[in-house]
Amino acid sequence: MSGGGDELRLVIRESSPTPVYEQIRAQIEGMVKVGALHDGDKLPSVRQLAGDLRLAPGTVAKAYAELAERGVIETAPGRAARIRRVTTVPEPLLQAAKTYAEQSHRLGATFEDAINALRAQWD
């Protein structure tokens, strides 16, 4: 993302019960936590991301506001939003997640099935 032309790849699931602004917030925060976005990286403007995702600018603005409130990004009038704080997921957990994702794919599970199975085992 930093500086020039990299595209922020987000997936919006219209069928999800999770509000769209929350999907945006969670995906960006997740990218920060796994190290895909780094301290100082620029995010697209609200208008640009809204246009790319074919959403109302207010939806993206709400996601950015929540990210700023959580300390993940910093924003200022007339300046690009930037990643502010990077707290990454430990490498062993990333490797375990990769293994789980690969196994889930081999079994033909959907993303939602994999998440639901993980939630069921969490407690």
Contact 12, 53 (CB under 8 A): yes
- 72: domain range? 20-83
Question: In this structure, are 77 and 37 located in the same domain?
Answer: yes
Question: In this structure, are 79 and 99 located in the same domain?
Answer: no
Which residue in the block uniquely carries the two structure tokens 């033909």?
108
Q: Flag whether 13 is in a domain.
A: no
Question: In this structure, are 24 and 69 located in the same domain?
Answer: yes
Q: Nearest 10 degrees: CA dihedral of 27, 32, 34, 37?
A: 100
Q: Quote the radius of gyration of the chain (alpha carbons, Å).
A: 16
> pLDDT of 91-113, one tens digit each?
899 899 999 999 999 999 999 89
> pLDDT of 44-92, one tens digit each?
999 999 999 999 999 999 999 999 999 999 998 888 899 987 777 888 9
Contact 88, 82 (CB under 8 A): no
* Amino acid 2: pLDDT: 45
What are phi and psi for residue 79, nearest 5 degrees?
-125, 150
Q: Flag whether 62 is in a domain.
A: yes
* Amino acid 6: pLDDT: 54
CATH number of the domain at 36, please. Answer: 1.10.10.10
